[in-house]
Amino acid sequence: MEKLIITAAICGAEVLKEHNPAVPYTIEECVREAKSAYEAGASLIHLHVRWDDGTPTQDKGRFKAVMDAIKKEIPDVIIQPSTGGAVGMTDDERLQPTELNPEMATLDCGTLNFGGDEVFMNTENTIKYFGQRMIERGIKPELEVFDKSMIDMALRLHKKGFIQTPMHFDLVMGVNGGISGDLRDFVFLRHSLPAGATYTVAGIGRFEFPLAMAAIIDGGHVRVGFEDNVYLSKGVLAKSNGELVAKVVRMAKELGREIANPAEARQILGLKPLK
């Protein structure tokens, strides 16, 4: 079984310091949290950015400042900026971090009801537009799927040339409006993936660690972090993203699964090695 890639989603666009005081907003806080995750065993940082007051932004300059600061401290880590942004942003606004030519970026594969009147819009044309941009810039997409239909969309657009192989999926489970985080649904999504694809599981809230366990056993990869869950255990706030990563590392070691370093993660994901 190949080594385990651990992704740390260090902040997200929705979670706030009111939920956990350690949630990072500033550049310095993002560096602190990325470093804590890396030192605990994460090889990939999934990155949203905010202004210092916590307002989410897709501003290219802010992304560059945060990415440069993280790379200064941990040069070999893989940084994967989000093109999801926040509800209501335009396609071009969301795509700003791709202008920095990162190794990877997220590509959301469908529209989702986020609760109340909030709808996270990803039309077929939006997905095509994002996919073509990433092909042109040599960026590997992480295909974000919140339900089975989004896997089908990714496969359909692959046949049309908008998504290249080998494909890497992120199974985001337990989001309001998306598929649940039950083991039954994990098995359903897992066996809906194409041969030769890799995948990561991101369980939301209480689903984070049970789904991490399932992915470790199955040979998949794991995402944890404050974007998805701020608790180390029931009622116990995590002090850092590193604590969440460290818990996954302990689980993997108990199950005999080794942890991938960034160079090994690049090889598994089909990324170019660092020069």
CATH code for position 230? 3.20.20.70
Would 48 be classed as within a structural domain? Answer: yes
| pLDDT per position as a tens digit, 188-240 | 999 999 999 999 999 999 999 999 999 999 999 999 999 999 999 999 999 99
> pTM for the full model?
0.97
Q: Are 127 and 107 in contact (CB under 8 A)?
A: yes
Pairing of strands 44-47, 78-81: parallel
Q: What residue type is assigned to position 166 of the chain?
A: P
Three-state DSSP class for 272?
Answer: coil
Would 275 be classed as within a structural domain? Answer: no
Q: Average pLDDT over the chain, rounded to whole?
A: 97
Would 32 be classed as within a structural domain? Answer: yes
- Exposure string for 45-64, b = 16+ CB within 10 A, e = fewer: bbbbbbeeeeebbbebebbb
H or E segment and range at residue 9: strand 6-9
Would 1 be classed as within a structural domain? Answer: no
Q: How confident is the model at residue 33 (pLDDT cuts 50, 70, 90)?
A: very high
Q: What residue type is assigned to position 238 of the chain?
A: A
Check residue 178 and give left, alpha or beta (phi > 0: left; psi -120 to 50: alpha): beta
Would 274 be classed as within a structural domain? Answer: no
The total of structural domains in the chain comes to 1
* φ, ψ at 44 (rounded to 5°): -135, 130
Q: Are 267 and 273 in contact (CB under 8 A)?
A: yes
Would 36 be classed as within a structural domain? Answer: yes
Domain that residue 77 falls in: 6-269
Would 248 be classed as within a structural domain? Answer: yes
Q: What residue type is assigned to position 270 of the chain?
A: G
Residue 167 pLDDT more than 80?
Answer: yes
Pairing of strands 168-173, 221-224: unpaired
Burial of 138 (0-12, 13-18, 19+ CB in 10 A): exposed
Nearest alpha-carbon partner for 181 in 151, 152, 211: 211
Would 24 be classed as within a structural domain? Answer: yes
pLDDT of residue 178: 96
| pLDDT per position as a tens digit, 82-121 | 999 888 899 999 999 999 999 999 999 999 998 888 899 9
pLDDT of residue 116: 86
